[in-house]
Chain A
Amino acid sequence: MTDFIEKRMPPVLKVEDLAVAYKVRGGEVEAVLNVTFDIQRGESHGIVGESGCGKSTVAWAILKFLGDNGYIKCGSIKFQGQELVGKSDEELRRLRSDQISMVYQDPMQALNPSMRIGDQMKEVLTVHRGLSSSAAEKRCMEMLERVAMPDPANVMLRYPHQISGGQQQRVVIGMALLNNPALLIMDEPTTALDVTVEAAVLDLIADLRRDFDTAIMYITHNLGVIARVASRIGVMYAGQMVERATVEDIFKSPQHPYTQGLIRCVPKLGTDKTGSILYPIRGRVPPPDNRPAGCIFSPRCDYVRPLCREQRPALRVIPGTNNETRCHFSEEIDASQWQPSEEIELPTLSGRKVEEQPILQLDNLKKYYPVKGNSLRDVLGLGEKRYVKAVESASFVVPQGKTLGIVGESGCGKSTLVKTIIGLEDATSGTAKFLGFDITGNISGRDKKLIQELQMVFQNPDSTMNPSFTVGQQIGRPMRLFKTAPKHRIRAEVIKLLQAMRLGENYYDRLPRQLSGGEKQRVGIARALASRPDLVLCDEPVSALDVSVQAAILNLLLDVQQEFGTTLIFIAHDLSVVRFFSDYVAVMYLGQIMEIGPADAIYRPPYHPYTEALLSAVPIPDPAAKQKRIRLEGSVPSAIAPPTGCRFHTRCPRRSLLPDPEICQTEPSWQMASDTHRIFCHHTLETLSSFEQVITTT
């Protein structure tokens, strides 16, 4: 089939043996080398890889957006048969505007904040196509309608900040398609969006591909997303493309050891820590100036042989499969026979007995932020007081030694909840007891002993450590502050902790800039554990990490919990990770806990309609899995004036099932599905139980 098309017409894009380098102080860095691939008409070609593997650089090289210090070292990029390498900037500029479009990660940065959306979109047509203003306007309206924007005429008159993030991305995609480009490059277009919005945008992309016959180059790090949008996938590793195949072949029979490893790293939705193990890939990506001489993956490969260290394999089709792989021995590798190498750390879940004493009890905890108005009355303090209701009556109990996962889309109040518990904010009302002590006030009023028992792990590995201090100093600081170790023992204690984090003693004197993201996160965890806390709050500890590192960090946290009996509150937006990691899960929407219960109970009926929608939106790294399609309408309402009654009722897809939908305007009551499983909904348990399972894996 592929051969047939190739004979008939040239591919839209054909990249051959591309190498891109950046000049830096004292030499140059080869970001990409020997990348070869092609994209056919109407095809959606995914490029997937971990951060720093050069996937964006390939996209920029096609457009020649390499900055002052980047240049194409060798290779050719043929676009519809024309060679792009060596073209003048002016020629490329014309090509970019008419034939190639790009969609970036952050829609807010792609749109001009000081221009109305209509004017920005029209500009594309009036400048490049020479259309009249009214004709352009008509085309833009059609396009907005095409990308499923509600009320296009109104949107045309608005400024970018007046529409939501998902809508902005729709506008950007619509703008990119206005010129009917032959090639559309999308660089992580949904990474900044919430799952439910992401799902809708991915649907849109799939739709558009069918209608417009545009070739799409889709770049992402997310295996679930790529499984949903791409028809063919190229897997990149350390600047090279290591495997290329159709989406089914990549996920069903990956041939390269790296691809196999990647797929083993991600938790499948529905698996949990007692039933399955995540296998991280050992070692780390080599820095671009220190790549191994032979196969680039050889230092981390479980099947490495002497030849791999000497000779760099070429991309070749593996006999008996449709996969192109850059591996010497793909035929001889049988993924089903794979055994984890002894070097990888795996958690040992010994089913340690924990007494189910509640350690943290929240009852009706509220956190409101006052909003400053702009009118004269507000300035004088006469106006009506308004509040952002960030957390609305949160009540739950966390038993000792267990993990509570909190999921929800951005702005649902999960971070505020954690900040209130740890004392960065004080609670507006309600009670919160930790170890029996009141913690509704902020940290300045708390006893040192209490502070010590409550620590936190942060999201961003690059900012979790102070760049000016060594690893040892930073881990030692809490020990010194809380006097958990005598002065002369601190160094020994820190090293012991480092070893528990699988970092050697030689990390003691390193500065943060000498560490990789995963290592920084390990140090962040070590610092949180240094004061031997009873409860550790983890605010998205793995969401900024690559999947192979994420698996290692999750395993580490599991081990820590086993060893120290620490209780964890784990915030994440990735439902598969939360499902895998947590004992209990709370689902939040707009400051309200919608459903809370044991992890396995949350992921099958009965569930709250919002949970159902979330589950249906999760991208699953398995093209064979069946997922029911439920998409939420509109966007999350403002937290200043949330809908009355059930906060979800304005978007609830299940509202019509109620005999009297008006009842949603009143506060629902908790439906007790079991002792520990509560659902905040007007539907009866019978109705909720009658929903069919969202995800069925085959």
Chain B
Amino acid sequence: MTAIPVIETKQPSRWLSIWKSVSIIFESRVATVGLVMVFFWILVGVISIFWTPYGPNAQDFVQNLPPNSTNWLGTDHMGRDIASRLMAGTQVILLKTRLPRSVASFPIPVGVAIWGVFGSLTLGTILGLNAGYRGGWSDQGIMQVLDALIAFPSIVLYLVVIAALGQGDLVVILAITVTGAPGVARLARSLTMDIKTRDYIRAAETRGENKWFIMFNEILPNARGPLLVDAMLRVGYAIFAIGTLGFLGIGLPPPDPDWGNMVNEARKNIFSNPVAVIWPALAIATLVIGLNLFADGLREELTRYQK
């Protein structure tokens, strides 16, 4: 005896359903443009692993050349090809992380910016979930500490972390994690406080589920959307931060080229070669804007009424 006439909904295949959820990106023009910009840089990075016009660190040319037919974007103050360095500069941000010599001589995949955001997302989410769900003194304690962190300008925090631990990719990741976590925690906390009032959390509590299960299995999956969009924006900020650190000369260590460092060095020769400073700055800007557009478009599309 089936009372409800079954409205035929065929289970779509796995690929189709994945495509369906991905395709909402293309509903938004803003998100599509952002995605294209980001993909452009990822593609450039991947190509640079195998091929660059010249060696990124080879000092083969005359110093401070303006753009010409051999060096499309000109050369820097040490006679290196800017185009090659720009391409290779994508790697440390998006594609690889170099471990200290003492640990391993090979890099691990995925770049510093992304690891940094991953770190702040993990730390922030754990803290935010606990603060939001437990409430009371845990909330007070966690949020006071995080608010104290926010009170420092982030550049000061970067300096403190790097001064204490020395230069290196892992240190930059740690710095990004520490500065990003309070923001993620605030977001996670407010989402948690909203979600914990829902009846399905009551249902879990009346089943006697333990607190960690409720936080990570019942609440977190429903807070995922906004947290991921926020993370997307944060990758942009992280790239910006790496640029800033490079500009101050305490960012990612050589020998790999780093966009922030390139801006810094080109700045010193700005009167003899004014265009050199533009290229790395432009690279940072397009990548960050691309990520922001993508995140904005995605958020708009996710919150829109769905048919």
Interface residues of A (CB under 8 A from B): 22, 24-27, 29, 69, 282-284, 289, 299, 343-345, 422-424, 443-444, 446, 448, 451, 454-456, 458-460, 463-469, 477-478, 481-482, 502-504, 506, 509, 514, 519, 524, 527-528, 531, 552
Could you say which residues of chain B place their CB within 8 Å of the CB of A345?
1, 3
A443 near B205: Cβ-Cβ < 8 Å? yes
With A463-B200, A524-B203 given, name 17 new contacts (CB 8 A): A22-B305, A25-B307, A26-B27, A282-B5, A283-B4, A344-B3, A456-B202, A456-B206, A458-B199, A460-B199, A466-B221, A468-B224, A481-B208, A504-B4, A509-B11, A519-B4, A527-B203
**Nearest 6 A/B pairs, CB to CB:** A468-B221, A458-B199, A463-B198, A451-B208, A466-B200, A24-B307
Q: Give CA–CA (A519, B4) in the complex, Å.
A: 9
- Known contacts A343-B3, A502-B2: A424-B206 contact under CB 8 Å: yes
- Known contacts A26-B307, A458-B199: A466-B218 contact under CB 8 Å: yes
- Known contacts A24-B305, A26-B307: A424-B4 contact under CB 8 Å: no
Q: Give the distance to chain B from A80, nearest Cβ to Cβ, in Å.
A: 34
Q: Give the distance to chain A from B39, nearest Cβ to Cβ, in Å.
A: 24
Q: Give CA–CA (A460, B199) in the complex, Å.
A: 7
The answer to the question of B306 belonging to the interface, with a C-beta cut-off of 8 Å to chain A, is yes
A25 near B6: Cβ-Cβ < 8 Å? no
Q: Give CA–CA (A504, B2) in the complex, Å.
A: 7
A451 near B199: Cβ-Cβ < 8 Å? no
Q: Give the distance to chain B from A26, nearest Cβ to Cβ, in Å.
A: 6
Q: Give CA–CA (A469, B206) in the complex, Å.
A: 18
The answer to the question of B101 belonging to the interface, with a C-beta cut-off of 8 Å to chain A, is no
- Please, how many residues of chain B have a CB less than 8 angstroms from a CB on the other chain? 28
- CB-contacts of B206-227 with A (<8 A): 206-209, 218, 221-222, 224
CB-nearest residue of chain A to B301: A25
16 sampled A-B residue pairs with Cβ under 8 A: A22-B305, A24-B307, A282-B3, A282-B5, A343-B5, A344-B3, A345-B1, A422-B206, A423-B206, A424-B202, A451-B208, A456-B206, A463-B199, A464-B200, A502-B1, A519-B4
B199 near A478: Cβ-Cβ < 8 Å? no
Could you say which residues of chain B place their CB within 8 Å of the CB of A527?
203
Could you say which residues of chain A place their CB within 8 Å of the CB of B200?
463-466
CB-nearest residue of chain A to B8: A506
- Known contacts A25-B27, A466-B221: A284-B4 contact under CB 8 Å: yes
A481 near B209: Cβ-Cβ < 8 Å? yes
Interface residues of B (CB under 8 A from A): 1-6, 9, 11, 24, 27, 198-200, 202-203, 205-209, 218, 221-222, 224, 304-307
Q: Give CA–CA (A78, B64) in the complex, Å.
A: 77
Could you say which residues of chain A place their CB within 8 Å of the CB of B199?
458-460, 463-464, 524
- Known contacts A446-B208, A468-B221: A506-B6 contact under CB 8 Å: yes
Q: Total A-B pairs in contact (CB under 8 Å)?
A: 93
- Known contacts A25-B306, A514-B9: A502-B4 contact under CB 8 Å: yes
Q: Give CA–CA (A509, B304) in the complex, Å.
A: 25
Q: Give CA–CA (A284, B5) in the complex, Å.
A: 8
A464 in complex: contacting residue of B3, B203, B209, B218, CB < 8 Å:
B203
A25 in complex: contacting residue of B9, B203, B224, B304, CB < 8 Å:
B304
CB-nearest residue of chain A to B209: A481
Q: Give the distance to chain B from A562, nearest Cβ to Cβ, in Å.
A: 15
- Known contacts A448-B208, A463-B200: A299-B5 contact under CB 8 Å: yes
Q: Give the distance to chain B from A82, nearest Cβ to Cβ, in Å.
A: 32
CB-nearest residue of chain B to A299: B5
Could you say which residues of chain B place their CB within 8 Å of the CB of A468?
221-222, 224
Could you say which residues of chain A place their CB within 8 Å of the CB of B304?
25
Q: Give the distance to chain B from A532, nearest Cβ to Cβ, in Å.
A: 13
A289 in complex: contacting residue of B198, B206, B307, CB < 8 Å:
B307
Q: Give CA–CA (A238, B4) in the complex, Å.
A: 18
A455 near B3: Cβ-Cβ < 8 Å? no
B222 near A466: Cβ-Cβ < 8 Å? yes
CB-nearest residue of chain B to A283: B5
CB-nearest residue of chain B to A345: B3
Q: Give the distance to chain B from A290, nearest Cβ to Cβ, in Å.
A: 8
